[in-house]
Amino acid sequence: MRMSRRLATGAAALALVMSACGPGGGSKPTIKIGSDGFNESQVVAEMYAQVLEAAGYKVERNLGLGPRTVTAPALESGQIDLKPEYIGSGTAHYDPAKASPDPATTAAALQEILMTKGGGITVFAYSPGQDYDAFAVRPDTAAEFSLANMSDLAAVQDELTWGLPPECDINPVCRGALEDTYGITWPPNNLEPLAACDVPIAEAIDGGAIDIAELCSTQAAIAQFGFVLLKDDQGTNPSQNLAPLVRDDFLAKLSESDRSAFRKLLDDVSAKLTTEALREINIALNVDQKDVPEAAHEFLVANGLLSS
């Protein structure tokens, strides 16, 4: 039986729409992007969002969800499809023994772990730069208590007021290092819970409300206030290069060519994230008071990742 011309034309149009929505078509799936709570994680996630939007993806932002104890389950459950991760801390979240100072080893260990999580999660290329957990004091505190190394802390721990993030208690890179390696009685007697890598904790050290705090090594406040970073003389810090983590079920929605282009977009962002670039981003956020979308956009344009 022959179809009428109108019916045939309608069927062809419907077929074209269905083709565009399927793998390899012109339509791209919506991606849900999340991040940890602090600014640096949010701005890197925002970079991913902006380059993907420019490539035609619709992005749902879930930035600043909270600590890794929140964002890791969010990624595993499919609440989000993509997040930036510090590979050392990400690995230590699952198995501290597999977090290494070598980034290639650590990224491979994290990939092995994530193959079994949430139906499979892929670790993309990691950045050349890294941002490790750093313990900082004011110069007067360093001089008064002769502090240069983390090993110097145990003898004077009760004379200091500590600023630590609430999640330090379950973080092997934080409490694990302090208690197991450096002999800090847990919890410290004088403890103020403050979010790591944020402006309030830096201002608390500078103002004398606390004496020592866990900061991010790329945090602008370190240079701004002249803090002294204590040397991790026992080597507890794993490599903390940044890498995008992407759910495999999202990648499965893409054609092979789209999947390759998607990976390149994110890998190109990672390639520009040197340690110095991360410091400059934090200066833009915390000193120049730029908001996360503005700081992300300026970085992408300056590095040729967006045209304008």
Whole-angstrom CA distances from 287 to 112, 209, 223 are 39, 21, 11
pLDDT of residue 261: 98
**pLDDT digits over 91-133, tens only?**
999 999 999 999 999 999 999 999 999 999 999 999 999 999 8
User: Are 158 and 130 contacting, i.e. CB atoms less than 8 angstroms apart?
Assistant: no
Tell me what the mean pLDDT of segment 13-40 comes to: 67
Task: For the chain, report the end-to-end CA distance as a whole number of angstroms.
Answer: 55
Average pLDDT score over residue span 186-191? 96
Q: Phi and psi for 239 in degrees, rounded to 5? A: -60, 135
Among all chains, which residue has been given the structure tokens 């793998």? Answer: 23
Residue 254 pLDDT greater than 90, yes or no: yes
Question: Which class in CATH covers the domain with range 133-229?
Answer: alpha beta
Residue 19, pLDDT above cutoff 60: no
How far is 194 from 265, CA to CA, in rounded Å? 35
Q: What is the C-alpha radius of gyration for the chain, rounded to an integer number of angstroms?
A: 23
pLDDT for position 26:
60
Domains of the chain, residue spans: 23-130+239-302, 133-229
Confidence of residue 10 (pLDDT cuts 50, 70, 90): very low
- Tokens 């903390």 correspond to 240
User: Hey, what amino acid is at 98?
Assistant: K
Number of H helices, E strands in the chain: 12, 10
> Quick one: fold of 23-130+239-302?
D-Maltodextrin-Binding Protein; domain 2 (3.40.190)
| Residues 212, 229: Cα–Cα separation, whole Å | 10
Report the C-alpha gap between 80 and 70 in whole angstroms. Answer: 11
How high is the pLDDT of residue 266? Answer: 98
Give residue-wise pLDDT tens across range 171-180: 888 999 999 9
Mean pLDDT of 273-299: 94
Contact indicator for 125, 211 with CB cutoff of 8 Å: no
Per the CB < 8 A criterion, the answer to whether 92 and 172 are in contact is: yes
For the chain, the average pLDDT equals 91
Q: What percent of the chain has pLDDT over 70?
A: 92
* Element housing 204 (H / E): helix 199-207
Least confident among 45-49, 158-162, 216-220 = 216-220
Identical fold, 23-130+239-302 and 133-229: yes
pLDDT digits (tens, 9 = 90+) for 29-77: 999 999 999 999 999 999 999 999 999 999 999 999 999 999 999 999 9
